[in-house]
Protein backbone atom coordinates (compact mmCIF):
# COMPACT_ATOMS: atom_id res chain seq x y z
CA UNK A 1 0.00 0.00 0.00
CA UNK A 2 1.34 3.42 -0.86
CA UNK A 3 1.78 6.17 1.69
CA UNK A 4 -0.71 8.25 -0.30
CA UNK A 5 -3.36 5.54 0.01
CA UNK A 6 -2.63 4.97 3.69
CA UNK A 7 -2.86 8.71 4.27
CA UNK A 8 -6.27 8.86 2.60
CA UNK A 9 -7.57 5.90 4.59
CA UNK A 10 -6.32 7.14 7.97
CA UNK A 11 -6.41 10.92 7.66
CA UNK A 12 -2.75 11.04 8.73
CA UNK A 13 -0.48 13.38 6.76
CA UNK A 14 1.60 11.53 4.15
CA UNK A 15 4.77 13.33 5.25
CA UNK A 16 4.25 12.20 8.84
CA UNK A 17 3.66 8.62 7.72
CA UNK A 18 6.90 8.80 5.75
CA UNK A 19 8.79 9.94 8.84
CA UNK A 20 7.22 7.11 10.87
CA UNK A 21 8.26 4.60 8.20
CA UNK A 22 11.85 5.87 8.36
CA UNK A 23 11.91 5.79 12.17
CA UNK A 24 12.10 9.56 12.52
CA UNK A 25 8.68 9.97 14.17
CA UNK A 26 6.15 7.93 16.07
CA UNK A 27 2.41 7.46 16.21
CA UNK A 28 0.07 7.93 19.13
CA UNK A 29 -2.28 5.14 20.15
CA UNK A 30 -5.20 6.63 18.24
CA UNK A 31 -3.21 6.79 15.00
CA UNK A 32 -1.79 3.30 15.53
CA UNK A 33 -5.38 2.06 15.64
CA UNK A 34 -6.21 3.91 12.40
CA UNK A 35 -3.19 2.46 10.60
CA UNK A 36 -3.91 -1.04 11.89
CA UNK A 37 -7.51 -0.85 10.71
CA UNK A 38 -6.44 0.40 7.27
CA UNK A 39 -3.93 -2.46 6.96
CA UNK A 40 -6.34 -5.10 8.27
CA UNK A 41 -4.21 -6.01 11.28
CA UNK A 42 -4.39 -5.43 15.03
CA UNK A 43 -2.58 -2.59 16.80
CA UNK A 44 -0.52 -5.26 18.59
CA UNK A 45 0.70 -6.52 15.19
CA UNK A 46 2.09 -3.06 14.47
CA UNK A 47 3.62 -2.42 17.88
CA UNK A 48 4.80 -6.03 18.35
CA UNK A 49 3.19 -6.15 21.78
CA UNK A 50 2.26 -9.59 22.95
CA UNK A 51 -1.29 -10.18 24.11
CA UNK A 52 -1.60 -11.20 27.76
Q: pTM for this structure?
A: 0.84
Write the pLDDT tens digit of every residue in 22-47. Answer: 999 999 999 999 999 999 999 999 88
Query: Which residues does 50 contact at the CB level (< 8 Å), separation at least 6?
Result: 44
Degrees to nearest 5, angle at CA 32 with 45 and 4: 105
Band the pLDDT of 52: cuts 50, 70, 90.
Answer: low
What is the per-residue pLDDT for 48? 81
Amino acid sequence: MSLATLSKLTGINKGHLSRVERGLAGLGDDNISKVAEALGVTPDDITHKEKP
